[in-house]
Amino acid sequence: MAHSPQTTPSGFLLPSIHSAPPFFTEQPNPNTQAQHTEQWTRIILTYARHKRLFVLRVEDAAVPGGDWDEVLRNERINRRMLPSHLSSILASMVSKNLAVYEPPKQIHAVLLYWRLPEEWADVLHSWATATGQLNTILTYYEITDPPVPSPLSNMPLPLLRRAINVLTRSGRAQIIGVADGEGVRLFAGGK
Amino acid sequence: MHRLGGVGLAAFDRQKESQRSFAELSSELSKAQVDHLQSQLTQFRTALSHFAASHRDSIRSDPAFRHEFQQMCSSIGVDPLAGPRKGGWWAEILGMSDWQYELGVQIVDVCVSTRERNGGVIEMGELVRMVSKLRGVGSGVITEDDVTRSIKTLQPLGAGYEVMDVGGGKKMVRSVMKELDDDQAIVLAEAQAEGGRIVEEILEMRRGWPRERARAALENMLLRDGLCWLDSQDETHGKAYWVPSAMRWDE
């Protein structure tokens, strides 16, 4: 049996290692495990970007029917990732700043950094510039749920806050309290 | 009474004389033989270089022809890579060594880039496939023979590249300085037959190994050498080992 790349129903191309049964088992050899974790990390991040998924939970490996079935399971070879395995991959991703535990102080769910907060900050700033919304007050809701879909649509608030923090540190944004929560004013400003 | 050679002092001279002429004759004869041999050798060299030069393209591009040529060379005791000059005069005539060294570099490339997933042991067919892909040539252009030959040229580097026969006509190329013991070679061969999967029971049944021996060999490959991977969701045995170098990978 040859192990070959597979395209999922959602159009995502899984590498050939995803069709290898042992890929779904946590490896006792630390070197092997490190290599597999690296591969898993890559698959998870590219899939998240492909489907615009921001959150990955350990329970996604436990309960079928979620957003992550296409990668955490392989029905063709009857294998699935076990929650404990996923949990150690998440830990590795957090340690490499490719994800962050969200909310903090728990280890069951992460916010995925398929774009780093710094990159999201640039995306946000470019979007505001392109849509002529500099110097006006924007609520967080207006950013994550704009009338015209944007690259920031459906972005989770914790991630948006991190991106805005990056902008405030470089003087390109000012956080403003508004009646129904938080708002921000973006400035042209240099980098 | 006449003795052969006569008597008296004059006889010594005569004997010396005849000895000298025999020696002269002998050296003349052997000189003629050497000359003859030399001219034959020159002729042979010329013919061979002529052959090599005129078939250079075929030798470089046609694997069957190259194989035949190399067999011919080895049957007459000429190593196409060896020679008085750097790279061998064959190399100069054929440009063969460039080709071979180039192939060597690509073999190293494939071995190193796949080491992470196969622990430094790659199946010959897979290596040939990947090198062919790297060169952008179709299958059959590069043969196992070429790869084996190139690996020999890598030996002076001391990187430990080696072709191993694991039985059943299967060959593996090892690119790490790690001695494979006999048991591991057997595990590789059995895994090869199973598409990469191997369990203790197979070694027990087919090789008559005691369970402990099978377990020790597999656990060593798993934990110590990183030559196999663990699958704890195996349908029939619950726990199976997979040898990545024995698995077929389509990139």
CA-based nearest distance B195→chain A, Å: 6
Element (H, E) at A152: none
Torsion of CA A160, A161, A163, A167, to 10 degrees: 130
Q: Are residues A35 and A49 in the same domain?
A: yes
A175 inside domain: yes
Peptide bond into A103 cis (omega under 30): yes
Q: Are residues A14 and A106 in the same domain?
A: yes
Angle (nearest 5°) at CA B70 between B65 and B73: 125
Distance CA B152, CA A57 (A): 51
Q: Are residues A135 and A62 in the same domain?
A: no
Query: For residue A1, which residues of chain B lie inside 8 Å, CB to CB?
Result: 195, 248
**Mean pLDDT in chain A?**
91
Chain A CA closest to residue B249 = A3
Among residues A112, A128, A162, which one ends one of the domains?
A112
The answer to whether the CB atoms of A16 and B229 lie below 8 A apart is: no
Chain B CA closest to residue A2 = B248
Q: The CATH number of the domain where A30 resides is what?
A: 1.10.10.570
Provide the β-strand partners of residue B122: B173
More confident residue, B160 or A187: A187
CA-based nearest distance A6→chain B, Å: 10
Q: Are residues A41 and A73 in the same domain?
A: yes
Distance CA A77, CA B195 (A): 14
Structural domain tally of chain A? 2
Q: How confident is the model at residue B176 (pLDDT cuts 50, 70, 90)?
A: confident
Task: Tell me the CA distances in angstroms from A156 to A53, A117, A153, A175, one per residue in order.
Answer: 10, 12, 9, 17
Q: How confident is the model at residue B91 (pLDDT cuts 50, 70, 90)?
A: low
Residue B82 has pLDDT above 60, yes or no: no
Among residues A112, A140, A163, which one ends one of the domains?
A112
Residue B83 has pLDDT above 50, yes or no: no
Q: The CATH number of the domain where A168 resides is what?
A: 1.10.10.10
CA-based nearest distance B107→chain A, Å: 21
pLDDT the model gives residue B164: 82
Among residues A112, A141, A165, which one ends one of the domains?
A112
Angle (nearest 5°) at CA B102 between B163 and B112: 55
Q: Are residues A126 and A104 in the same domain?
A: no
Residue B86 has pLDDT above 80, yes or no: no
pLDDT the model gives residue B78: 64
The answer to whether the CB atoms of A3 and B197 lie below 8 A apart is: no
Q: Are residues A51 and A139 in the same domain?
A: no
The answer to whether the CB atoms of A22 and B235 lie below 8 A apart is: no
Query: For residue A76, which residues of chain B lie inside 8 Å, CB to CB?
Result: none
Residue A88 has pLDDT above 70, yes or no: yes
pLDDT the model gives residue B3: 56
The string of pLDDT tens digits covering residues A10-19 is 899 999 999 9
The string of pLDDT tens digits covering residues A32-41 is 999 999 999 9
Of A102-111, A166-175, B81-90, the poorest mean pLDDT is in: B81-90
A55 inside domain: yes
Q: Are residues A125 and A162 in the same domain?
A: yes
In 3-state terms, what secondary structure has residue A174?
Answer: strand
The answer to whether the CB atoms of B231 and A25 lie below 8 A apart is: yes
Distance CA B124, CA A154 (A): 50
More confident residue, B108 or B242: B242
In 3-state terms, what secondary structure has residue A43?
Answer: helix
In 3-state terms, what secondary structure has residue A32?
Answer: helix
pLDDT the model gives residue B89: 58
Q: Are residues A123 and A105 in the same domain?
A: no
Q: Closest by alpha carbon to A86, among B226, A155, A66? A: A66
pLDDT the model gives residue B85: 43
The string of pLDDT tens digits covering residues B126-147 is 899 888 887 777 777 788 888 8
Q: How many CB atoms lie within 10 A of CB A176?
A: 12
- Range(s) of the domain holding residue A145: 117-186
Distance CA B164, CA B32 (A): 49
A132 inside domain: yes
A186 Cβ neighbours under 8 A, 6+ residues apart = A124, A125, A128, A129, A133, A134, A135, A138, A167, A172, A173
Q: How confident is the model at residue A180 (pLDDT cuts 50, 70, 90)?
A: confident
Query: For residue A35, which residues of chain B lie inside 8 Å, CB to CB?
Result: 116-117
Q: Are residues A68 and A144 in the same domain?
A: no
Residue B176: both structure tokens together: 């790490």
pLDDT the model gives residue A93: 96
Residue A102 has pLDDT above 60, yes or no: yes
Per DSSP bridges, beta strands B248-249 and A2-3 are parallel
Chain A CA closest to residue B250 = A4
Query: For residue A77, which residues of chain B lie inside 8 Å, CB to CB?
Result: none
A1 inside domain: no
Query: For residue B242, which residues of chain A lie inside 8 Å, CB to CB?
Result: 20-22
Q: Best residue in B247, B248, B250, B251 to probe A by mutation, most A CBs within 10 Å?
A: B247
Distance CA A140, CA A123 (A): 15
Distance CA A1, CA A177 (A): 61
In terms of average pLDDT, the best of A106-110, A174-178, A185-189, B93-97 is A106-110
Mean pLDDT, residues B47-61: 78
